[in-house]
């Protein structure tokens, strides 16, 4: 029985203000939404990583709005109290703020509480447009999978001073535009923790070290189901656990206590 009150944006802000870490996992269907919600995961991300994890593709680029709408609907049906974030897929927000609005509104109507979009600079006016019209937005900087070909593959971002300064100024610009959360992916832990200390909104890290205001992992990675060699910063929480429920509970506990991630194995 899940006695938790629904997690709201207000609650996420309270957690951030109190220094409580936010535990987020990707989720793509109703069955896992039930398990993750019951285990106390604060936020479920219907990530476009489903293109790789569920559909077996090499990148997220072919994921469609129909795919995202379907999986958002499934997660919303299984979830009771967690905050649900749906990814805007490649091509659904780049052309204009109006196109972004139409597609974001569709995901909200399927049961998302917030949408996430990738990139900085040009995205700030799009974020403002959505937020002013009532849609909470999560920004995503660092390694942004929809730009994998422009970035030259799955590479750490923000390593040099110029890159790090650019990411920092883009993050502040997105927060000024009204983004309420920021996911930062595959950046040096020192850079991420300096950003998390100065940004007024929670910074959720993936491959960004333990200094962030919360963590997100791809569900199948943290259950040891990823194809190929897992990235260094991923931990298999099912290894040694009594089952999926216990593995997810361990993830939540370890994020909250900062036992995960371990900067010593982070590697950058």
* Candidate segments 43-51, 158-166, 171-179, 259-267, binder of ligand KIV by CB under 6 A: 43-51
Is 185 annotated in the active site? yes
Q: Stretches 40-48, 73-81, 98-106, 227-235: which one binds ligand KIV (CB under 6 A)?
A: 40-48
CB nearer ligand KIV, residue 68 or residue 177: 68
Helices and strands, number each (H, E), in the chain: 12, 8
Q: State the minimum distance, in angstroms, from the CB of residue 117 to ligand KIV.
A: 10
Q: How far apart are CA 263 and CA 102, in angstroms?
A: 40
Query: How far lies 267's CA from each of 164, 209, 241, 262, in Å?
Result: 17, 9, 25, 10
Site string for ligand KIV, 61-100 (x = CB under 6 A): --------------------------x-------------
* Token pair in block for residue 166: 């650019």
Residues binding ligand KIV: number (CB under 6 A): 11
- Work out which of 183, 184, 212, 223 binds ligand KIV, going by CB under 6 A: 183
Chain contacts with ligand KIV (rule: CB under 6 A): 26, 45, 47-49, 87, 183, 185, 206, 216, 218
Would you please indicate which residues are annotated as catalytic (active-site) residues? 185
């Amino acid at each position: 029985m899940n006695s938790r009150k629904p997690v709201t944006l207000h609650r996420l802000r309270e957690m951030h203000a109190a220094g409580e870490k936010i535990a987020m996992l990707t989720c793509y269907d109703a069955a896992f939404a039930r398990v993750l919600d019951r285990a106390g995961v604060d936020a479920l991300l219907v990530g476009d990583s489903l293109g790789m994890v569920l559909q077996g593709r090499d990148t997220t680029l072919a994921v469609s709005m129909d795919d995202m709408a379907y999986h958002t609907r499934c997660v919303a049906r299984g979830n009771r109290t967690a905050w649900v974030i749906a990814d805007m897929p490649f091509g659904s927000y780049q052309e204009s703020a109006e196109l972004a609005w139409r597609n974001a509104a569709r995901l909200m109507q399927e049961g998302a509480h917030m949408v996430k979009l990738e990139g900085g600079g040009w995205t700030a006016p799009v974020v403002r447009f959505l937020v002013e019209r009532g849609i909470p937005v999560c920004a995503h900087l660092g390694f942004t999978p929809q730009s994998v070909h422009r970035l030259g593959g799955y590479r750490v971002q923000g390593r040099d001073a110029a890159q790090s300064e650019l990411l920092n100024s883009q993050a502040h610009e997105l927060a000024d535009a009204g983004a309420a959360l920021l996911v930062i992916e595959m950046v040096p832990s020192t850079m991420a923790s300096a950003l998390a200390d100065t940004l007024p909104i929670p910074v959720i890290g993936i491959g960004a070290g333990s200094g962030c205001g919360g963590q997100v992992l791809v569900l199948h990675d943290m259950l040891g189901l990823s194809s190929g060699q897992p990235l260094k910063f991923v931990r298999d929480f099912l290894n040694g656990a009594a089952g999926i429920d216990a593995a997810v509970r361990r993830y939540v506990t370890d994020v909250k206590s900062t036992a995960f991630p371990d900067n010593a194995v982070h590697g950058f």
